[in-house]
Amino acid sequence: MIKLKVNRKEYAVDVSPDTPLLWVIRETIGLTGTKFGCGAAQCGACTVHLDGEAVRSCVTAVERAAGREVVTIEGLPDDLGMPLKDAWIAEDVPQCGYCQSGQIMAAAVLLRETTRPTDEDIDDCMTGNICRCGTYPRIRRAIHRAAAALSKGTGK
């Protein structure tokens, strides 16, 4: 049994310790907002927060997450989650939508660390997240919008 804390809830899971965290989140715990895209840390669709850091859950063995805080799109706290989701809706970002959980989880870490990110900051942080539908220009605008809302305090 491996003890996990996902979205502030405790779980004990009976899986092989080398199982990627992604599949424990999706199949064992049943939270399917975190997506499988490449299995090789190439696309970012599986991005979750591990003790506040953005990690690719498809290459993170579940044993590495034991006893640490895992946050998925479903549990992203409102202080960052609301302004991001509102901005994503205002800019009508998603097309197919499959990569967007990972995009938002990556953007949340960016905004926590950089209150008013520049385009360059966005490139640096978001380049690991692929969107095959090509919503990048809108993701960029949505991040700027969320940052502006946060710094005005209207994102609360």
Partner 1 sequence: MSDVVNLSRRGFLKAGALAGGGLVLGVYVPPRATAVDPPAAKPTTYKPNAFLRIGSDDTVTVIVNHSEMGQGIYTGLAMIVAEELDADWRKVRVEAAPADPVYNHTMYGIQLTGGSTSTISEWDRFRKAGATARAMLIAAAAAIWKVAPATCRASEGQVIHQESGLFLSYGELAEPASRLAPVRNVALKDPKTFKLIGKPTRRLDTPEKVNGTAVFGIDVTVPGMLTAVLARPPVFGGKARSVNKAKALAIPGVRHVVETDRGVAVVADGFWPAKKGRAALEIEWDLGPLATLDSHLQREEYIELARTPGAVARKQGDAESALAASARVIEAVYDLPYLAHAPMEPLNCVADVRPDGCDVWTGTQAQTLEHHAAAQAAGLKPEQVKIHTTLLGGGFGRRAALDCHFVREAVLVSKAVKAPVKVIWTREDDIKGGYYRPTAHHVVSAGLSPQGRPTAWKHRIVCQSFLIGTPFEAAIVKNGVDETCVEGAADVPYDVPNILVDWKQAPNGVPVQWLRSVGHTHTAFVVESFLDELAHAARTDPLAYRRELLANHPRHQRVLDLAAREFGWEKPLAPGRGRGLALHQSFGSIVAHAVEVTVSKAGVLAVHRVVCAIDCGPVVNPDSVRAQMEGSIVFGLSTLAHEITFALGRVRQRNFHDYPVLRMNETPAIEVHIVRSTDSMGGVGEPGVPPVAPAVANAIFDLTGKRLRKLPIRALDLKQA
For residue 136, what are its two tokens? 């990048």
Tell me the C-alpha distance between 27 and 49, whole Å. 18
Using CB under 8 A as the binding criterion, the count of chain residues that bind partner 1 stands at: 59
By the rule CB under 8 A, 20 interacts with partner 1: yes
Instruction: Find the binding residues for partner 1 in span 48-107 (CB under 8 A).
Output: 72-74, 84-85, 88-89, 92-101, 104
For residue 88, what are its two tokens? 């994503």
Task: Using the minimum distance from each CB to partner 1, give the nearer residue, 3 or 132.
Answer: 132
Task: Using the minimum distance from each CB to partner 1, give the nearer residue, 65 or 135.
Answer: 135
For partner 1, which stretch binds (CB under 8 A), given 29-37, 49-57, 110-118, 146-154? 29-37
Residue 69 contacts residue 52 (beta carbons within 8 Å) = yes
CA distances from 48 to 25, 103, 132, 151 (A): 10, 10, 20, 24
Tokens 């509102």 -> residue: 86
Chain contacts with partner 1 (rule: CB under 8 A): 15-16, 18-20, 23, 26-28, 30-40, 42-43, 45, 72-74, 84-85, 88-89, 92-101, 104, 122-124, 126-140
